[in-house]
Structure 1
Amino acid sequence: MRTQVVIIGAGPAGLLLGQLLHTAGIDNVILERKTGDYVLGRIRAGVLEQTTLDLLDIAGVGSRARAEGLPHEGIELLFQGARHRIDLHALSGGRRVTVYGQTEVTRDLMEARKAAGLATFYEAEDVRLEGTDGNSPTVHFTRGGGAQTLRCDFVAGCDGFHGVARQSIPGSVLQTYERAYPFGWLGVLADTPPVSHELIYANTPRGFALCSMRSETRSRYYLQVPVGERVESWSDEAFWTELRARLDPEARDRLVVGPSLEKSIAPLRSFVTEPMRFGRLFLAGDAAHIVPPTGAKGLNLAASDVGFLFEALADHYREHSSAGIDFYSQRCLQRVWRAVRFSWWFTSLMHRFPDAGEFGQKIQEAELDYLISSQAASTSLAENYVGLPMNTRYADGAGAPMRP
């Protein structure tokens, strides 16, 4: 078999790239190691930047996110027992974020790909790449016990941190940067109304907490827990009791509890690999970088990678230009490192670190006080939270990608 682009990974990044390429008439095939049901069952992020929504529109799948998503124009910071609102909309020049679950994004993209009759091979195992440093890459895989081969012009690695794409690049080519944090997030998903109509980020003596949501009837809550904590140690009752202890009195009174639909612990880390391109193999999303979820950047960074890659491949096929391909890694990494910096800063600001000591705690409290009392500091938080503009020629004045 032959196609123009092979995409490895059927998560939201791979599916979005596939739809964008389809709109430009570029043939593509997606390979996914897991089943479709497994991919849909993964519980992930739910805060979308404007640039991500615009890319979904370009791909023809943004209507449900805009109709059912919850626009958010602010967030609340809780520390020293009181909440303080950051007006994202006013401070960022009229921009906002939208709460819409990553599972729903994936579902919308899956359905659009199926409706278009595009090829997706689930349960593709033993994927192996050849010739990515030349002009004619080959992708080998097995499916249903049979060996298959795909010849292509380009390979997009959207297969996550443990995927084969990055592992197929010689180690001598890559430089990696990593930081592990001494805590994780214990998350619970419940069919209960959110405690607030905006996200609450809490810095408390007992640790960090986040009150989020997926809809007006489904809530997502997180607690900071030590590294090595086991999810089996937390009953629903224990989780709700600890969450109450980290909230202010008003939020505590408004909290509605219920049985958890999903409960898990995710470690926090920062990871970046450079470059994000090796010959005709491109890395996108978690295959190239991971950020702590504090700043809600993971899915949005993956979407911006895909936006840059879509532009580069469209230029290659329509204009016979290699500029987008040549500068893909550089353009992505500029945006990635800015998001990594913000996520690291926001994580450091809102969490309790076991080795900070009294001096470190006082510095953190002083920075939080400065943040809410300085418009310049609040503006910096707002601009980064709603998403910095994409450096693309398809951008309007607000940084939103436009249709080519």
Structure 2
Amino acid sequence: MPLQPSRVVAQLKELRALTGDADGAQRVAWTETWATAREWLASLLADLPLDVERDAAGNDWYTLRGESERAVLIGGHMDSVPNGGWLDGALNVLAGAETLRRIAEEGTPPVTVRLVDWADEEGARFGRSLLGSSAASGSMADQDELRRLVDRDGVSLPDAVGAFGVDLDRVLDARAQLETAAAYLELHIEQGPVLESLELPLGVVLGTFGVERWRVTWTGQAAHAGSTPMAERRDALAGAAKLALAIRDIAREAGGGAVCTSGGVVCRPGIVTSVVETAEQLLDQRHLDAETLAAMLARAQELSHAFADEERIDVAWERIWNIQPILFDDALIGLCDEAIAEVAGSSHRLPSGPLHDAAEVARAGVPTVMMFVQSLRGLSHTRLEDTREEHLELSVAALDRLAAKTVAHVAAA
């Protein structure tokens, strides 16, 4: 039976009705709604000659054995954020399932092909994203921290995952799943406005941005708002405000899709009748090139000290979290370009600002590539998330074409 992209669109609508409500998708990981979605996925594939297993980290694997144990992996995630969109994650898995069906119905492939539904990509319940894929990649090194995480209802992460048969002491056993992996492919909605602005349905992802995330604390002097002359003030908020504006120029000058965000400022004493004594500012910087990202951070720190001198205040920097840029495989990027051009007529290369499971697989040394499909208005993580149905069907056809090229590429290696 030939590939049927329209079937994927119909399945996405069925899943939306099964696991969503008026506010959007509700497939938060480690909940019964998520489990319902995964059981439904298993039922869609039950007629195929697949080996099915759940690994130690809760990832679900559907394996079509080939003439070689070397495996081409196609991945995604069925979990969503609360009140999420109908496509984020689910498109990846269902398009992969359609491709797996097409390959299976043509007979034994020259290499093994595996579909993976990663557990808890979003991290929506406990704040720890990429849980299943980071366990499989071996990058998870914070089990003690994970044990301390609780959700808004006070349920601990170990208890929540334990209800699904996952033991944090064993999650790294999932690394065995990547031992035979020769390539990893992932389709995803863009979650941004670039492809729509270019009037293109599909694009090739070059890699995922590196991230520098810091807490910048400005310290001045509280003083009465009515009696303190402007020239005598040591206003901590003034430093934060200057940096919030300056990082826009830092991003523009860096180019390459650089982004900088001042995501929040907490002022103390936080009353209208006092000059701000302390301002805690959250800063997020992202770029695909590690050297450029480092230069962006250095420039922001340099300017912050200049602003502190100007305002006669102090500034201190504390790193919250960082990750290096992840670059995808050149050969697979080329194959993805070809597949998109053959299906849609033209392609475009762009980086990914958000992180994805693909980044963890690439960190493990598996050749990896991602494909983006256009997002209307660039919206995601909302019930307003949407993509034209004709573009969804093109993305399924392009993923299938990429999978065929990758299977041939791995078989010939």
TM, length-normalised to structure 1: 0.30
TM, length-normalised to structure 2: 0.29
Higher strand share: 1
Bigger-Rg structure (1/2):
2
